[in-house]
Structure 1
Amino acid sequence: MTDPASWPHESASLADYGEDCVKQWNNVSLRYRVPLRGFFSKRVKDSAEVEDLTQEVFLHLIRRARGGPIEHVEQYVFQVAANTLRDWGRRRRARNQEAHESFDAEIHQPATDISPERVLLGKEEIKLVSAVLRALPERTRDVFVLRVLEKKKYAEIAVMMAISVRAAEKHMAKALAQLGGIMGKAQDRD
């Protein structure tokens, strides 16, 4: 009965499902929930998505019923289901949902746990690097910042600072030597 060709073409209205709104919606839900799930499960793999789509159809029907009576309920229900499925597909494509990987704690666990001690050592190293950079001559520090942090090429740095490319390279080498020396000493202490 989930195949659209096998659906009966009854011309029942919403009023035919009960005397008041509560009974009407309960009866519509009882009558169409299983066929709607079947309709969606043939087209959608995830059972949670099937349930969400089914609920979305009922939500649409309730909103629509506020505007007046629904005639030909069965045809209307499955037309809404088809439109809901089409909208769902568009949203998935727009959000590139197929490329999404769900979070799995076992798979996405960091390779190593970062201990409080490691965090403290990292903070100390950052302070050390900052101190070394502040102690560098201004031009050397500027070359380092432009090259490392702003990803500028030596030719761009040379033009910006009105120095030669070779001078920019020497300033960078000087900054790296200072940082390397201090970092080497820090690692020797550990």
Structure 2
Amino acid sequence: MADPVSLPREPAALADYGDDRASQWEHVSLLYRAPLRGFFAKRVRDPAEVEDLTQEVFLRLVRRAGGGPIEHVKPYVFQIAANALRDWHRRRQARDMDAHESYDEEIHQLATEISPERVLLGEEAVELVVAELHAMPQRTRDVFVLRAMENRRYQEIAGLLGISVRAVEKHMAKALAKLGRALESEGSPE
């Protein structure tokens, strides 16, 4: 029977990584930096955030260094990573970070360029659309409102009104054509 090949064992305790603290942390950093980046990259889209979270893990490890010896480094490192990720999600949720939009000068400048004339033209267009909607047959108006205002699907509208999907499509096309003609004739010089 042949001797099994012994694979190099990953050090378990922090003391196994070197003789002094500096070499221990250097070895831990070299060994776990790439796996930590991979761990965070699977869970966070922004590469800058991945790097920040990786650094946060090492910062927490160094802060912890004054405590007792770390006996099982790998699970400890990834527990810190999981906690850092959980804290990161909590901070984003508290600050509603996903709802923020970056400043775009083109978009924001348009808002300042709205003249009183443009406002008046917009109000007149809205009044025209409302008048056209009131002039439509009830079923056509209902289909348009359910689709355009309430964003319902054709199949859902058909079920609500007790008509076929094809009938919903026809009513919607009729409403759009009528509104399009009205807005077109309003915008053309007489």
Q: What is the TM-score when the length of structure 2 is the normalising length?
A: 0.50
Task: Give the CA RMSD over aligned residues.
Answer: 2.2
Work out the CA distance in 1 between the residues paired with 2:20 and 2:64. 16
Residue 44 of structure 2 corresponds to which residue in structure 1?
A: 44
Work out the CA distance in 2 between the residues paired with 1:42 and 1:76. 19
Q: Which has the larger radius of gyration?
A: 1
Residue 78 of structure 1 corresponds to which residue in structure 2?
A: 78
1:11–1:71 Cα contact (<8 Å) kept:
no
Give the partner amino acid of 2:33: R
Are 2:13 and 1:23 equivalent residues in the alignment? no
- Show structure 1 runs of 5+ residues with no match: 1-8, 114-190
Could you say if the C-alpha distance between residues 20 and 38 of structure 1 is closer, same or farther in structure 2, counting changes exceeding 3 Å?
Answer: same
Work out the CA distance in 1 between the residues paired with 2:95 and 2:40. 20
Are 2:16 and 1:12 equivalent residues in the alignment? no
Give the partner amino acid of 1:75: P
Q: How does 1:148-159 map to 2 (within 5 A)?
A: none
Work out the CA distance in 1 between the residues paired with 2:110 and 2:26. 49
Residue 67 of structure 2 corresponds to which residue in structure 1?
A: 67
Work out the CA distance in 2 between the residues paired with 1:13 and 1:109. 59
Could you say if the C-alpha distance between residues 90 and 68 of structure 1 is closer, same or farther in structure 2, counting changes exceeding 3 Å?
Answer: same
Q: Deviations over 1:119-163 (max 9, x none)?
A: xxxxxxxxxxxxxxxxxxxxxxxxxxxxxxxxxxxxxxxxxxxxx
Give the partner amino acid of 1:31: L
Work out the CA distance in 2 between the residues paired with 1:23 and 1:11. 13
How many residues are paired up? 105
Work out the CA distance in 1 between the residues paired with 2:31 and 2:59. 15
Work out the CA distance in 2 between the residues paired with 1:62 and 1:44. 24
Cα distance, 1:77 vs structure 2: 0.3
- Show structure 2 runs of 5+ residues with no match: 1-8, 114-190
Residue 145 of structure 1 corresponds to which residue in structure 2?
A: none
2:13–2:71 Cα contact (<8 Å) kept:
yes
Give runs of ≥4 in structure 1 deviating > 2 Å. Answer: 102-113
Cα distance, 1:68 vs structure 2: 2.1
> Secondary structure at the residue paired with 1:66?
coil
Work out the CA distance in 2 between the residues paired with 1:69 and 1:85. 24
Give the partner amino acid of 2:19: E
> Secondary structure at the residue paired with 2:33?
helix
Work out the CA distance in 2 between the residues paired with 1:108 and 1:14. 54
Work out the CA distance in 1 between the residues paired with 2:27 and 2:10. 16
- Aligned-pair identity in percent equals 71
> Secondary structure at the residue paired with 2:70?
coil
Are 2:117 and 1:96 equivalent residues in the alignment? no
Work out the CA distance in 2 between the residues paired with 1:59 and 1:14. 16
Cα distance, 1:102 vs structure 2: 2.5
2:11–2:17 Cα contact (<8 Å) kept:
no
Cα distance, 1:110 vs structure 2: 6.5
Cα distance, 1:17 vs structure 2: 1.2
Q: Deviations over 1:53-79 (max 9, x none)?
A: 001000000011111211100000001
Give the partner amino acid of 1:20: D
Q: What is the TM-score when the length of structure 1 is the normalising length?
A: 0.50
